[in-house]
Structure formats: C-alpha cells, structure tokens
Amino acid sequence: MTLRRWEPWEEMRHMHRVLDRFMDAGPFRPWRAFAFPWSEGRWLPLDVYHTEEAVVVKAALPGIKPEDVEITVTGNSVTISGESKAEESIEEKDYVFQEHRYGSFQRTITLPDGLDTEKAEATFENGVLKLRVPRLEEARPKTIKVKTA
C-alpha cells in the first residue's frame, strides 16, 4: 500500500472540474431557461418530433402575434426568430416583480436529412407555432412484405 499526502485543494479543483463537465455536457442546463437582459437573443424552448410523413417543430409563443415571427430555412437549418413587445409602458420601478420576458428571440436547429423544405408549412394557433416539414418520398420508411415460397 502506498501512502499519499492529502491535498484538499487538489480535491476541490477536481470536484470543480467534474461539476463543470456535468453542467456543460449533461441534460440539466438550468441557465438556458432564463435569458439575461444583456444576452443577444432570448431562449426559445422547442418540441421537435418526427412521424413517418414529416418532422414537426412546436414552439410556445404566448402573447406574440404571428406577424412578429419569422421562420428561415437554409439547407437543413431552421431559424425561428421574432420579438415580444410589451403592451404597456410601466416604469421599471413600479413593478413588484416581472417574469414576462420582452425583446427579441431566436433559435436555430438542424433538421435531419431527407426533408422537403420547399413544402414546409407553419401554423399559429392559440400561441403555439407549429412548423411541419414533410419527408421526401424516397426518405419515408417502406414496409416490405416477406413472401413464402
């Protein structure tokens, strides 16, 4: 058995590195849910799922008008951006607290290959933006029946 000198500061640095790795690479990223006033754009949470016919992107945009939202498709990248405008002009000092976020937002995601972006459709209903990008016919799953001899 080898004796080793205990170095508490090295253990603290190691724990700091482990926590940094966990927070950077892990699924738990709480800071993404909050946007700071000095950040470039606001965080936009999305739901992205696929069916046999299409890939669907959903974004909750409460209080935002459809004309204040812009969707840009470039190759396999989709960018959803816009601006949330405050309806009332209340001095900041008059708030007890303020949780609604106002200002610009933007989110870019990469979609899988095999989609027909020319036929993408966007709908906006009850504050929810739904973007549907259909799959190309040759990229859709096909069922092949096995024949017996």
Q: Per residue in 82-114, pLDDT tens?
A: 888 776 666 666 667 666 677 788 888 898 888
Q: What is the mean pLDDT of residues 55-83?
A: 89
Q: What is the SS3 assignment for 33?
A: helix
**36: Cβ–Cβ under 8 A, 6 or more apart, which residues?**
none
Nearest to 102 by CA among 128, 79, 68, 70: 68
CATH number of residue 44's parent domain: 2.60.40.790
Tell me, yes or no, whether 25 lies in a domain: no
- Could you tell me if residue 59 is inside a domain? yes
Does residue 108 fall inside a structural domain? yes
Give the model confidence (pLDDT) of 1-33 as tens digits.
778 788 888 888 888 888 877 776 655 555 544
Q: What is the tally of structural domains in the chain?
A: 1
Asked if residue 33 belongs to a domain, the reply is no
Whether 123 is covered by a domain: the verdict is yes
Domain interval for residue 76: 38-88+97-137
What are 148's strand-pairing partners? none
